[in-house]
Structure 1
Amino acid sequence: TRAPAAAAMSPGDLGGVSPARGERIEAESFEPAPQAKAAKPGRTNRNARPPSDSGLDVPPERAAKPRKRRGFLSHLLTWVITLGVVGGACWWFYQSGLVQSIIEEATKSADRSVAGQGSGGPVAFDPRRGFSDEWVEIFVPSKAAEMKAGGQAKIETVAASEGQAVRIASATSGEGGDVSVEVPPEVLREMAGKSSTVALTLQSGQNSSAQLSVRCDFGSLGSCSRHRFTATQEKLEALFRVTFERSLAPNRPGRLIFNSGIDGADRAVLLYSVRILPGQ
C-alpha cells in the first residue's frame, strides 16, 4: 500500500513546517477546481462556456452576411432615369437652335471650300433648288450659231451624256482661242449699279479634267477680271459674281468670253448653258 504523503515528507522538505500543517498544505494543493454550478431546468448557465473543437477557449468569428443583389426593377429604373436625362439634354440642345446653326455653318464652309470666286473656281450650286424664273437664260446649245469663235478656236454642237452641249476647243490661251456669247442690253441695264451672279453649266470634253477661263466685256458698263474654272467628267454649275457701280448701261450687247486653251491646245470643254441673275 501507498504510504501517506505526510509520512514520506521530512521536516527538511517542508522547510521546517510541522507534519500536520504539511498535510493540510498538500491537501489544498491537490484540491480540484470547483465545477460550475448546474443550471436549473429551463435556465441557461451563465458561467458555462460552449465547447471548442480546437480545445482553445476562442470566441467564434462572425459569419459574413451575403451582399444583397439589386433587383431587375432597380436596374430598369436606373436606365429609365439615365435615358430621360440624355433625351432631355438632346431636346434642349435641338430647341436652342445650336444644331441648325452648326449645320448652316458646315454648309457655308463647304460652299466656301468649293467656291473659287476670287480665283475663278466653281461656286457650289444646289441642283435640287434649280434655277428660278429670276435667272435670265443667256445661252443654250441651240444658239450655237450665234457664238463667235477666234481663228484658233473650234466650236461644235454635240450630244453629250448629259444632253445637248457646245464643245469648245481653243488652240491657244490668247485672243485667237476666244469664243464669245452676247449679253442683251436689257440684261445689262438690270445689272447696272448692282452685284449680279453668272452661272455656267460645264463638263469636261475628254476623259480628264480641263480648264476654262471666262471674262466679261460689257462696254460702257465695265468689264470683269478673268475667272478660271476646272471642268470634270461630271456636269457642274460654276458661278461667279460681278459688280458694276455704274448706273449707265450701254445700248449695245455685251460679251462673255470663253477660252479652253489654258492647259494647252485642244483641251475641250462642254458648255450646256449660261445664265445671269441680275442684282436686286
Structure 2
Amino acid sequence: MNPIEKAIRNALDKGDAGDRAFREKVYRSVHAALERTLQANPDVTPDILRQRRQALKTAISAIETEFIPAVAPPTAADGRPGPGDEDPADAAPAVDAGPREPAASKAPGVELDVAEKHAPAAPAVEIETPRSPAAADVPAAGPRRARAAERREPAFETGGETVAVKRDENGDLRAETRPAPRRRRGRLFAGLFLAATVVAAVGIGVWWVSEQGLLRSPEERDTSVPNPPKTLEEEEFQPADPPRLGSEPSEERNWITIFSPDNPGAVVTPAGASAEVVDSDGEPALRIRGEGADTPVLFDVGQGVLQQIAGRRALFDIVARSEEGEETQVSVTCNFGELGDCGRNRYSVVPTRSDYLFDLAMPDAAPGAAGTIAIVPDVDAGAKAIEIFEIRVSVAQ
C-alpha cells in the first residue's frame, strides 16, 4: 500500500467512511496537502509532479471500488435466464454481498489532467452518475438494483477543476475532469459594492460642504443686518493729531487764572525736571523740561479756585507750544483732593502757540486744600522742552 492510499484510509477510519460527503472531504484534504507539499519543494520535477498526482487518482479509484454495492444479474421470474441471455459464460459474474477486496485488475484508471497553471477555484462540486447503456435496457430487478442505479458517485475539486467519479460503459469507475466556472458573479458584486460606497462617500462630502457654506462668499455667509460701508469723515478721531477743545472764543468766557509766568513760585520741579522763565516772541513764558517719561512739573491750583468750580462743569485750558521746529508728546494729570482728578490726558504739542483743553464735571464738595496739575514735557523721554504761557479754567454759565 503506497503512502497516499494509507493516508486516505487512516483519515477514513476516523469517521463514517460509508458517507459519501465525508469521503469527498477526505479526498479534498489529501489533494490539498499533496499540492502544498509539491509546491513547497523546488526540487520536484514535472515528471514527479505527474506521478504523485496519478498515484493520488489511482488510490482514490481503488478505495471507491470498495463502496460500490453488489448487483445481482437479472433473471426471469421462474429462475431461468431471460431471453436476452445467450450464454451463462458471457453473463456478469455474481458478486458476494460481503466486503470486497480491492483488486488491481478491477481498479479503474483515473484520467485526470490538472493544468500547471491554477485556474480560479470553483464554488460548487458537481457529481455525475452516468449509467451504462446495458443497464437502461434491463427491467427493474427489485429495490436493491434501483438503489444501485440511483447511486451518485462522489466528486471533488483539484485546483481550479472539478473531478467527478463515474462508471463507464463496462461498469468501471473513472474520474472525469471539467474546468470549474470562474467566480465572476462574486467579483461583479464586489465591484458594484465598492462603486456604491465611493458614490455614497462623495455624496456625503458634497452635502456637508453645502451645509457648511464653504463654497459661499463671506457676504453670503453673513446673515446679520448689512452694515453701511465704513467712511472716514473729517470729524472722526485721528490719533496722530488729537483734536483741540476750546473752539469757543476766549472773550465769551470768564477765565480764572491758575498759572502765569509772572508768578513762577507756584511751580514745583522735582529731581530731573527744570523750569525757567524765558522771552518767547516778546511774551514771557515758562520753559519746562524733564529727563524721563515719568518726570512731571507740578503747577499749584489754589483752594479758592477749586471752591469756585466745585459742583459745576469746568473747562481747563493750557496755552503752550514746543521748542522751535520740534513737536513733542506731553501728558497732563490732576489731583484736586476732595474734587477728584482728571485722569490722564495726552497731547501732541506743536511749535506754534495753541490751546490744549480738557473739561470735567466737578463734584459738589468743599475742597479741604489746594490741588495740583502735573505736566510731563516729553513722554518719549527725549528731554524735549515746551513753553507754558498760561493755565486757566472757566465754568459753564
Identify the TM-score tier after normalising by the shorter chain.
Answer: 0.5 to 0.7
Aligned to 2:247: 125
Structure 1 stretches of 4+ with a deviation exceeding 3 A read 112-116, 129-133
Q: Does the 8 A contact of 1:114 with 1:123 survive in 2?
A: no
Aligned to 2:304: 186
**Could you state the TM-score of these two structures normalised by the residue count of structure 2?**
0.38
Secondary structure, counterpart of 2:250 in structure 1: coil
Secondary structure, counterpart of 2:271 in structure 1: coil
Structure 1 counterpart of 2:375, which letter? F
**1:113 to 1:249, Cα distance in 2 relative to 1, 3 A:** farther
Q: Does the 8 A contact of 2:337 with 2:368 survive in 1?
A: no
Aligned to 2:360: 242
Matched, 1:134 2:257: no
Structure 1 counterpart of 2:250, which letter? G
Aligned to 2:379: 262
Q: For 1:232 and 1:225, how far apart are their aligned partners in 2? A: 22
Aligned to 2:393: 276
Kindly state the Cα deviation for residue 165 of structure 1 after the two structures are TM-superposed: 0.6
**Percent same amino acid among aligned pairs?**
23
Q: 1:61-140, aligned counterparts within 5 Å?
A: 112=235, 121-125=243-247, 129-132=249-252, 134-140=254-260
Kindly state the Cα deviation for residue 227 of structure 1 after the two structures are TM-superposed: 0.7
Secondary structure, counterpart of 2:287 in structure 1: strand
**1:170 to 1:121, Cα distance in 2 relative to 1, 3 A:** farther
Aligned to 2:287: 167
Q: Does the 8 A contact of 1:115 with 1:122 survive in 2?
A: no
Q: For 1:113 and 1:243, how far apart are their aligned partners in 2? A: 24
Q: For 2:242 and 2:270, how far apart are their aligned partners in 1? A: 22
Higher relative contact order (CA 8 A, sep 6+): 1
Aligned to 1:209: 327
Q: Does the 8 A contact of 1:207 with 1:233 survive in 2?
A: yes
What are the superposed Cα offsets for residues 63-102 of structure 1, whole Å, 9 maximum, x if unpaired? Answer: xxxxxxxxxxxxxxxxxxxxxxxxxxxxxxxxxxxxxxxx
What are the superposed Cα offsets for residues 195-224 of structure 1, whole Å, 9 maximum, x if unpaired? Answer: 210001111124210122111100011111
Aligned to 2:83: none
Q: Does the 8 A contact of 1:203 with 1:231 survive in 2?
A: yes
What are the superposed Cα offsets for residues 96-131 of structure 1, whole Å, 9 maximum, x if unpaired? Answer: xxxxxxxxxxxxx96x56898xx97532536xx334
Q: Does the 8 A contact of 1:115 with 1:123 survive in 2?
A: no
Kindly state the Cα deviation for residue 186 of structure 1 after the two structures are TM-superposed: 2.0
Secondary structure, counterpart of 1:122 in structure 2: coil
Aligned to 1:252: 369
Secondary structure, counterpart of 2:342 in structure 1: strand
**Structure with greater Cα Rg:** 2
Kindly state the Cα deviation for residue 263 of structure 1 after the two structures are TM-superposed: 1.8
**1:162 to 1:208, Cα distance in 2 relative to 1, 3 A:** farther
Structure 1 counterpart of 2:366, which letter? A
Aligned to 1:95: none
C-alpha RMSD of matched pairs (Å):
2.5
**1:160 to 1:178, Cα distance in 2 relative to 1, 3 A:** same
Aligned to 1:221: 339
Kindly state the Cα deviation for residue 251 of structure 1 after the two structures are TM-superposed: 2.7
Secondary structure, counterpart of 1:241 in structure 2: strand
Structure 2 counterpart of 1:262, which letter? V
Q: Does the 8 A contact of 1:158 with 1:164 survive in 2?
A: yes
**Could you state the TM-score of these two structures normalised by the residue count of structure 1?**
0.53
Kindly state the Cα deviation for residue 140 of structure 1 after the two structures are TM-superposed: 0.7
Secondary structure, counterpart of 1:213 in structure 2: strand
Structure 1 counterpart of 2:389, which letter? Y
Gaps spanning 5+ residues in structure 1: where?
Answer: 1-108
What are the superposed Cα offsets for residues 42-72 of structure 1, whole Å, 9 maximum, x if unpaired? Answer: xxxxxxxxxxxxxxxxxxxxxxxxxxxxxxx
